[in-house]
Amino acid sequence: MKTVYLDFAGATPVDPRVRDGMEPFYSEIYGNPSSMHSFGREAAEALESAREKVAGLLSAPKSKNIVFTSGATEATNLAIKGIAGRSSNKKEIIISAIEHISVTNVCRYFQKQGFTIKTVGVDEYGFIDLEELKKAVSKETALVSVMYANNEIGTIQPVREVGAITEDAGVPFHCDATAAVGKIPVNVVGDKIDMLTISSNDMYGPKGVGALYMRDGLRTEPLLHGGGQERGIRSGTQNLPGIAGMGTAAELAEKEMEKRAAHLISLRDPLIKGILDSVPESYLNGHPKKRLPNNAHIRFSYIEGESIILSLDMIGVAAASGSACTSKTLEASKCLTAIGLSHEEAHGSLQMTLGPSNAMEDVKYVLDNLPAIIKRLRAMSPLAPREEN
């Protein structure tokens, strides 16, 4: 059976060039980067080279602004706990209404510690309300956390405007750029971002590796205490094969970004248009233009996303009904309800995220099969209006 993978937001394959670059770090270059002998120095050089490549992708001023972590969740925890956790007088965190669960759940933790969490609303496309953000920032604000692009509906936020507001207010700005980095240009200085979360697997690097960009002069509390690696901010021997892989993935993403985006958009737009044209009562979630190049997110009236996913899976198509990180909960997506959808509408959504291995024949396969799937599911749905005989 033909298989079509359309869940690159859930996980990406490791680019073979990245995998080749990781190989020597298992059994050949195995020294501890903190050791003083030649084996250690060789490992430390590789570590610093990866750091430079990641810094380059983000246009960070110095490679030492990059702290390697075990992934995006750890980077975000380090950012928010590192800043809010050491704030003795400011007890307020501001986030947007469509942040990833790795941000919202850290905020819940702080709420239990007595913090106020202010949630700034978004419009129907998922763009943050900048006026509301401006009003929300106060002398009590310890941190603002707004994502770069939404991992579900693909909307790209006006990050530079958010950065201007936080800079004016003198409040640290953390940005979860996991979904954006490698797909669209990110410039931490231009965007006035103080801390930025990224993950390797979202750009065809290995899983379980990520990084936090921290601008010079920020003082944070570490999550992990130990040997003082990563300038004391993240103790523990670095995962060198993974970090080397992330470095190569970042270097390739920087070099190939334009070409990759053009390929993804050339598939995304016909996929979206093809579905909207062929399926009645189907609607695009997120903004038609200001969206990630690989994201198609469509909602269908009267049916459930899960039943569409299962039907697609039966014909070899892997798609998602929302973030893999929240798939264990039965709740409607907070992102979709925040953009104004009812619970029924939110549950009827299908997320397809494209990658470099997809081709037009994959799009065609979906377009050839999806309309009949939707029709069949609607015929069984008690919510769908019955056709008159």
CB 210 within 8 A of CB 75: yes
Report CA dihedral (375, 376, 377, 378) to the nearest 10 degrees: 50
Q: Quote the least distance from Cβ 324 to ligand PMP, whole Å.
A: 7
> Count of residues for the chain?
389
Residues that bind ligand PMP (CB under 6 A): 71-73, 100, 102, 147, 151, 176, 178-179, 199, 202, 210, 325
CB 155 within 8 A of CB 125: yes
136/320 with CB nearer ligand PMP = 320
169/233 with CB nearer ligand PMP = 233
Q: How far apart are CA 274 and CA 291, in angstroms?
A: 18
Laid out side by side, the sheet with 295-300 consists of 282-284, 295-300, 349-353
Q: Quote the least distance from Cβ 102 to ligand PMP, whole Å.
A: 5
Q: Quote the least distance from Cβ 72 to ligand PMP, whole Å.
A: 3
Q: Quote the least distance from Cβ 208 to ligand PMP, whole Å.
A: 7
292/298 with CB nearer ligand PMP = 292
Strands annotated E in 28-80: 66-69
Q: Quote the least distance from Cβ 7 to ligand PMP, whole Å.
A: 11
282/349 with CB nearer ligand PMP = 349
Q: Quote the least distance from Cβ 356 to ligand PMP, whole Å.
A: 17
- With CA atoms as reference, report the closest residue to 305 among 327, 288, 280, 286: 327
Give residue for tokens 């997120």.
286
22/147 with CB nearer ligand PMP = 147
Q: Quote the least distance from Cβ 69 to ligand PMP, whole Å.
A: 9
CB 69 within 8 A of CB 211: yes
100/234 with CB nearer ligand PMP = 100
179/339 with CB nearer ligand PMP = 179
Q: Which amino acid is at 140?
A: E
| Helices and strands (H, E) in the chain, number of each type | 12, 12
CB 321 within 8 A of CB 308: yes
Residues classed as catalytic: 325
Q: How far apart are CA 264 and CA 20, in angstroms?
A: 25
Q: How far apart are CA 336 and CA 153, in angstroms?
A: 8
Strands annotated E in the chain: 4-5, 66-69, 92-96, 116-120, 141-145, 173-176, 195-199, 210-214, 282-284, 295-300, 317-318, 349-353
